[in-house]
Each structure stands twice: as C-alpha cells, then as structure tokens.
Structure 1
Amino acid sequence: MSRWAAGGSRAAAASASAPSCSGAGIGAGSGSRGGSGLRSAPPPSPLTRPLLLALVLLCLSLPGAACHQRGRDRVKHAALTSSDAQLVSRPRATGGPPGRTGVPQGRHVRSYNHLQGDIRRRKLFSFQKFFLRIDENGAVNGTKSKDDPLSILEITSVDVGVVAIKGLNSNYYLAISRKGELYGAREFGVDCTLKERIEENGYNTYASAEWKNRKRQMFVGLNVHGRPLKGKKTRRKNTATHFLPIVV
C-alpha cells in the first residue's frame, strides 16, 4: 500500500506539472507572437544608404544634363544657320570660265563681250565671191582682190546683236539709209547700226537696226557684179546678202 501511494503521488505530481509546463509554453508562444506584431520596423541596412544617395544624385543631375544638351543643340543650330546664310550670300561657282570681272560664269550666265566695245578686224567675203570694200569717197562695192586694203573692216559691237562696221583705211562707216541705199557715212549715226546674225549656212547677214521696208528688214548685199543692192529688194534667204567674216 505504501508503494502504490508513493507511485500514485508521483504520477499525480507528474501530471500536475505537465499542464503547467504546456501552459507556460503556450503562453510564451502567444506572447512572442503578440510582441512581434507591435514591434517597429528594423533600421535600414548600411548598404542601402549609398544606394539611396546615388539615386538622389542621379535624379538631380538629369535636369542639368538635359539643359546642357539643349544648349549644345542651340549652338549647333546657330552655327548651321550662319553657314547656310553664308552659302546663300556667296556667289555660286559653277565651274565656267571667269568673265572680265573675275566672277565665275555658269551655263545660265552669258558674257556679251560686244557690250564692252570690242573691235574685230575682218574682211567680209560675200557668197558672190566679192570682198566688201568702202573706198576713200565713201562708195560701197565689192572687189575680187584679196589684197585690197580698203576691204579691211573694223566691226565694233555697240549693243546686243548690233554692230558698227567701219573701213580701216577709208574711215567711213557702212550705212543703210531710210530708203535702203547702201553708202559710207563719215560720222556714226542711226544709219550705221546693223543687226548681225549667223545664218544656218554659217554665213552672216547684216540688216539695218533702225529702218524697215513694210515691216521687212533691209540687208547689206552685193549682186553678181559686185554692186550694192538696195535694201528694199533684199531678203534674209537671198544669198546675195550672205557674208563670211575672214580674220585679217
């Protein structure tokens, strides 16, 4: 009996102590969970501070970089604008031969040297095989002699496509009157202005720049005998009015 009592007391003591331990464990567990919910967040790690600082500096530097880039773009645009303005104001070189003023000439730029008063020494050889001559008295006719000094003429350009023809040794100008008569004039006048044109056959024609006959041009011409033709009877297609300039 004493053994059973002792064993029973021990089991009772063990059973009594077991609930107290489990309750203590449960209380401790529940207490730990309640404490973790009310506790504040842990402080940031030391490694995150440099990262945050780098992000702040990057955000601050982006607007400055954009402004700097915009400034560079404005400078570049101003430089391009100034260079374009210089190209527009500068005369364009087209690779053509330079004129008298030294400005390059292109295919759309024409040099009218006759506006500068250039003088050409020529002999006018007619289609009828005569050299046009102006003698000392101002008479105009033709000669077969190629050595006749009175057949040397000076052709001076006075306007676009308009020339004046003067005998080098006679000092008379070739002229066409209002009536179409061919003669030599001592002084230069409106009768002495002649339109020079190159025809399809390579010969030149010379028509009065001032006078016309019934709206028809009057030309310098020599007949088959070397005598001058009246301007009223001349036509552009008539070979009697065709002359070949020969360089003296």
Structure 2
Amino acid sequence: MRRPPPALPPPPPPPPPPAGSMSPAFLLLLLLLLLPARARRERLPGGAQAGRSAPAPSSSSSSTSSSSSSSSWAAGPSRFPRSRPGRRRGRLYCRVGIGFHLQLHPDGRVDGAHDASPLSILEIFAVSQGIVGIRGVFSNKFLAMSKKGKLHASAHFTSECQFRERFQENSYNTYASAVHRGRRSGREWYVALNKRGKAKRGCSPRARPQHVSTHFLPRFRQPPPPQLAFTVTRPEKKPPPPPPPPPPKKTAAATLPRHSHGPVKYRLKFRFG
C-alpha cells in the first residue's frame, strides 16, 4: 500500500516593511491633506497672522481696566449713594405738637424738626421678618436705642439698631427696640418725640403705642405712575364739492314780449240787458 505524500509546511509570512518606509497610498493621502492647509495659509494677509498674536495686549488692557475698576471700588462709594432696590427712602413724620420730622445728625443727636431738611431723609431697610433698620441718608448713621432707652445715631449697624415695625389702625407706624425692653414689666420701648421735638427715652411711661408721640407717618418718595394715554385719529374730512355755477341771469331783451307779425284777432263780447 502506498503512503500519502507528506503535508507541505505553510509558507512563511511576508517580512514586515522597514520602519522608515511608508506605503504610497498613505503618502498620497497625507499630501492631499497638507496641500489645502498650505494654500489657506498663503492666502491670509500679513496682518491676519499678526492679529492672531494680538490677544496679548487686549488681555493686558483688560487687566488694566479691571485693576482701575478695582481701585475705584476700593476707594469706596460716594458719600450719598442711591437707594438700593428693596429699600424705602423718605421721611418719618410724627404728629405730636406742631408736627416734627425725625432726623439724625452727624454728631449722633436724634431730634425732630418741623420743616423738612436733608437730615430728615431716612432709608428704611428690612433686616428680618418684621425687623427693620433706619439710616440717615445725609449723616450716613443708623438710628439706635441704648440699654437705658436713649435714642442716638450710630456709625455702625449693631443689634441696638434693629427695630420692630408695626402698622397701626390709623395708618401710622410704631418702631420698638428689638433688643431692649422693660426688665420687670417686659414692656417694649418705642421711638418717640415730645411736643418740643426732642427725643424721648424708650423707657418713659408716656412712650407707649397708644400715645401720639410714638406714631410716625412714613412719607416715601414713590415714582410717578405711568401715564396711560392713547391717541385718537380722526378721519380726514373730505372738502365739500364746489357749488354749481349760478344760472345765467335773464337779460331785459329776453324778457320783452315778442311781437307777432300776423293779423290781430278780436273776439266779440255780448252784453245782455
């Protein structure tokens, strides 16, 4: 019996290409990708390439502007800044005596003046629910009540500058200290003025919510309401047509009777009797 021929070994794999050589298809693809980029670069003018490096001065200018703005902010706001949103600006009018406006002095005094003045312009802002603070716009100081019930103007906002605002039935407001009150009775101490316009102590027995000296009427400056108006356009009237021309007047010649050249006929009249 014949033996089958032995199986041939598999052919060896092709040797890998050397590291430095590339296939021609890959080289052609790389060349097609590089040509458009080079053509684009040649089309750009000289100033455009310089513009790419231009952001550096802009960053320096922005840093300069930011430094100048930060320095101006560090200098502090103006002495009499505008009222921030959510704050009420106006005057507190107490109807005791001849009527006084509560005012805060730069030296720390608190009193009332009958005539309105820049010292009486106040700014009321909310601290928490039902608690407000009162600041003098001209003096830039806060209304405060000491532990002895004396009213004064403080340069810094502390717990003594917090007051509890309540609305009365007669449309007036009362302001009681949120910190200090009577130790034994627990009665609240209110901001009050006497009939001569001087500040009362909050612990005074005549400074209670039912007394007129503790009632203040807020007079806030509110922006005028927008005027709601509308324009009515009337239809244009057409001019009336011109009157028809008057008929021609009849002349005297036309009114004269016409004479007939024919024979004149006479009718006989019979009279009986």
Partner in structure 2 of residue 99 of structure 1: none
* Equivalent position to 1:231, from 202, 208, 218: 202
CA distance 1:135–1:120, change in 2 (3 Å): same
Of the candidates 159, 163, 174, which is equivalent to residue 194 of structure 1?
163
Equivalent pairs: percent with the same residue? 40
Identify the residue that residue 187 of structure 2 maps to in structure 1: 216
Structure-2 separation of matches of 1:178 and 1:215: 14
Give the corresponding residue for 1:43: none
Give the TM-score taking structure 2 as reference length: 0.47
Do the aligned residues in 2 keep the contact of 1:206 with 1:219 (CA within 8 Å)? yes
CA distances 1:116-151 after superposition (whole Å, capped 9, x unpaired): 9821102000022100000111100000112x0010
Structure 1 residue ranges (4+ consecutive) displaced by more than 3 angstroms after TM superposition: none
Deviations 1:137-176 (A, max 9, x none): 1100000112x00100000001001000000010110011
**Whole-angstrom CA distance in 1 between matches of 2:186 and 2:213:** 20
Q: What amino acid maps onto 2:178 in structure 1?
A: A
1:120 matched to 2:88: yes
Match of 2:154 in 1: 185
- 1:175 corresponds, among 144, 147, 159, to 144
Radius of gyration: which is bigger?
1
Q: How does 1:156-171 map to 2 (within 5 A)?
A: 156-171=125-140
* Pairwise CA RMSD: 1.4
Aligned counterparts of 1:171 and 1:181: Cα–Cα separation in 2: 19
Partner Cα distance (2:211, 2:169) in 1: 13
Number of residue pairs matched?
A: 132
Contact 1:117–1:158, Cα closer than 8 Å, also in 2: no
Alpha-carbon spacing, 1:199–1:163, altered in 2? closer, same or farther (3 Å) = same
The answer on whether the counterparts of 1:120 and 1:154 sit within 8 Å (CA) in structure 2 is: yes
Q: Which runs of 5+ in 2 are unaligned?
A: 1-83, 222-273
Matched, 1:247 2:216: no
- Please identify which structure carries the higher helix content: 1
Shift of 1:217: 0.2
CA distance in 2, matches of 1:149, 1:163: 21
Q: CA deviation at 1:178?
A: 1.1
Structure 1 residues not aligned, in runs of 5+? 1-115
* Whole-angstrom CA distance in 1 between matches of 2:118 and 2:145: 22
Mapping 1:1-248, distance limit 5 Å: 118-128=86-96, 129-146=99-116, 148-213=117-182, 214-233=185-204, 234-248=207-221
* Code of the aligned partner of 1:125: Y
Query: Hey, what does 2:28 align to over in structure 1?
Result: none
